[in-house]
């Protein structure tokens, strides 16, 4: 029996394009495999997770996604400075590095690199941004191994 409408718990295949607020493409799945996730399971940003529920197979739509349903708001507590001597060699502005704080490893971005210190940011690069997602459902299956449900 074919499944034609996405319900929570369905494994879905979705082609997507993510746009910034000024309509610039940030990322797209065009020319590669679609994203596969379980609808309503929190495997993707909340705005996309919610938007696919109720979509039909083959349906395409654009949905605005506010920061609280995407990558959250920027948090100034996640901005720190660190001595350059404690960073790996050949690190440059814009690089992402793993930083160990106590027993936790965080992935941080090098925002500024000065002579003695570097400004680090653990916020997601898209935190605080309202995004627009263009979604197209290209497969719907029941939860299970991905290779056994889309045939």
Domain assignment present for residue 140? The answer is yes
**Residue 100 confidence (pLDDT):** 75
Residue 8 has a pLDDT of 95
Same domain, 97 and 117: yes
Full domain range(s) for residue 110: 76-121
Q: Based on the domain organization, do 42 and 83 belong to the same domain?
A: no
Query: Domain for residue 150, yes or no?
Result: no
98 occurs within a structural domain = yes
Tell me the backbone φ, ψ of residue 73, rounded to 5 degrees.
-95, 155
- Provide the residue-wise pLDDT of the chain in tens; the chain has 151 residues: 556 999 999 999 999 999 998 999 999 999 999 999 999 999 999 999 999 999 999 999 999 999 999 999 999 988 888 898 888 888 888 899 987 777 888 889 998 988 899 999 989 889 999 999 999 999 999 765 544 444 3
Tell me, yes or no, whether 56 and 35 share the same domain: yes
The answer to whether residue 3 is domain-embedded is: no
Q: Return the pLDDT at 78.
A: 86
Judge whether 65 and 48 are in contact, CB under 8 Å.
Answer: yes
Do 66 and 136 belong together in one domain?
yes
Q: Are residue 63 and residue 80 in the same domain, yes or no? A: no
Q: How many domains does the chain contain in total?
A: 2
Instruction: Give every CB contact of residue 10 below 8 A, 6+ residues apart in sequence.
Output: 3, 38, 39, 140, 141, 142, 143
Query: What CATH number is associated with residue 55?
Result: 3.10.50.40
């Amino acid at each position: 029996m074919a499944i034609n409408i996405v319900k929570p718990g369905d494994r879905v295949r979705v082609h997507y394009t993510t746009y910034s607020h000024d309509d610039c493409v940030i990322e797209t799945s065009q020319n590669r495999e679609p994203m596969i996730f379980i609808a309503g399971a929190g495997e993707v940003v909340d705005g996309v997770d919610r938007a696919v529920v109720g979509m039909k197979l083959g349906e395409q739509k654009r949905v605005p996604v506010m920061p609280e349903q995407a990558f959250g708001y920027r948090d100034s507590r996640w901005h720190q400075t660190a001595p350059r001597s404690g960073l790996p060699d050949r690190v440059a502005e814009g690089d992402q590095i793993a930083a160990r704080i106590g027993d936790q490893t965080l992935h941080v971005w090098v925002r500024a690199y000065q002579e003695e210190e570097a400004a680090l940011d653990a916020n997601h690069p898209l935190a605080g941004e309202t995004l627009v997602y263009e979604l197209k459902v290209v497969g719907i299956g029941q939860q299970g191994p991905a290779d056994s449900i889309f045939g």
